[in-house]
Amino acid sequence: MKFNTKTIHGGQEHDPAYGAVMPPIYQTSTYAQNTPGGHKGYEYSRTHNPTRHALEKAFASIENGTHGLAFGSGLAAIDAVMKLLKPGDEVISTNDLYGGTYRLFTKIFEDFGIKFHFIGMENSKNITQYINANTKLVWVETPTNPMLNIIDIKGIAQITKAHKLLLAVDNTFATPYLQRPLDLGADIVMHSATKYMGGHSDVVMGALVVKDNAIAERLYFIQNASGAVCGPQDSFLVLRGIKTLHVRMQRHCENGKAVAQFLASHPKVEQVYWPGFESHPNHHIAKQQMDDFGGMLSFTSKGNDYDAAIKIVEKLKIFTLAESLGGVESLSGHPASMTHASIPKEEREKTGVVDSLIRLSVGIEDIDDLLADLKQAIG
């Protein structure tokens, strides 16, 4: 089945009770048993819920995995991955990544004895010097949030396989429409399903997909034992979102490209970060591992001036100033004071998250309106 069919049918069956084409919202915490253990496959909704199960099968299908798991947020999904580890274990992570992920790693899991190395992975070989007997996991975001760096998943996977390390890829920015990390050698793919998967800015959710039975079993155990699951209503909404992922992504990519080109030719814009430019340092890798370049980009205005950046985001009208990304509506963000404020200034500035940086999540509105909005705001 091809991707554009999988988003609609992958892993999905009509509901066995009445043939409902969309799975009903099974708004129940528990299920009747005729004798202890005598149930129809569902006992308690933290463990299993039919609506969540339908969504988890869809996640697995579109990421070319065998098992999907849905969580109450993207961070809850990452939290579950980190619980595969033990005190003394070490993780090598991209140094440019969502601020909340950095906070979870440094403010929660470091206290539980896990050591993190945050490094630039634009050259995949960089990771080898950080590998030692305690290294267990490599954490990759690509494209990275918010600098749109591109990491070579296949290149990293060759190294992690040789050293028997787990490779987890946060595929939130790309989505499986553009990039399928499991096919490139990753062991775990993670999503903030809050973003493109849901696609309508009305749900907070996380997802994991794997293709190995032993990892899946352990993650299902953690999901049930720790309990950070999502509810049936949210599962229904994200399943509905996935059904249009391919058409939304197609437009996100078209509009993203037009906005990137507009900004690159604007005299008041200093630098545009978008993997579709031939001048992007890892454009050749983006071209290999992604089917298009997505709807996320960041830019700085000339003079690298904090006040100028704030003025622009305040003036934008169609681009709403807000945290998050990946919805049908365009959003702007100021990473240094919003999504990445939990990363110390000296750390974030090393990766380019300067005070003048603006991040755009380009939506699927009419491109003429989006460009006119940017024109009036940048001046």
CB of 66 to ligand P1T, least distance (A): 23
Residue 348 annotated to the active site = no
Structure tokens at 167: 């490779």
Q: Are 238 and 196 in contact (CB under 8 A)?
A: no
| 171 is a contact residue toward ligand P1T (CB under 6 A) | no
Q: How many residues bind ligand P1T (CB under 6 A)?
A: 18
| 202 is a contact residue toward ligand P1T (CB under 6 A) | no
Q: Which one, 50 or 181, has the nearer CB to ligand P1T?
A: 181
| 325 is a contact residue toward ligand P1T (CB under 6 A) | yes
Q: Is residue 147 helix, strand or coil? A: coil
Residue 136 annotated to the active site = no
CB of 32 to ligand P1T, least distance (A): 33
Pick from 204, 229, 260, 188: nearest CA to 74: 204
Distance CA 162, CA 156 (A): 10
- 10 Å Cβ neighbour count for 352? 18
| 339 is a contact residue toward ligand P1T (CB under 6 A) | yes
| 198 is a contact residue toward ligand P1T (CB under 6 A) | no
| 79 is a contact residue toward ligand P1T (CB under 6 A) | no
Q: Is residue 338 helix, strand or coil? A: coil
CA 72 to chain centre: 14
Pick from 168, 113, 165, 106: nearest CA to 135: 165
* Active-site option among 79, 96, 152, 170: 170
- Provide the sign of the torsion angle of the four alpha carbons 331, 336, 337, 343, taken in this order: positive
Residue 52 annotated to the active site = no
Q: Which of 26, 59, 98, 273 lies at the binding interface for ligand P1T (CB under 6 A)?
A: 98
Q: Which of 50, 199, 206, 294 lies at the binding interface for ligand P1T (CB under 6 A)?
A: 206
| 172 is a contact residue toward ligand P1T (CB under 6 A) | yes
Give the bridge partners for 94, in sequence order: 119
| 176 is a contact residue toward ligand P1T (CB under 6 A) | no
Distance CA 352, CA 225 (A): 39
First to last CA, the chain: 47
Within 137-156, the residues that bind ligand P1T by CB under 6 A are 141, 145
| 194 is a contact residue toward ligand P1T (CB under 6 A) | yes
Residue 195 annotated to the active site = yes
Q: Which of 63, 152, 170, 292 lies at the binding interface for ligand P1T (CB under 6 A)?
A: 170
Distance CA 88, CA 193 (A): 30
> Which residues of the chain form contacts with ligand P1T (CB under 6 A)?
73-75, 98, 100-101, 141, 145, 170, 172, 192, 194, 204, 206, 323-325, 339
Which residues are catalytically annotated? Answer: 46, 98, 170, 195
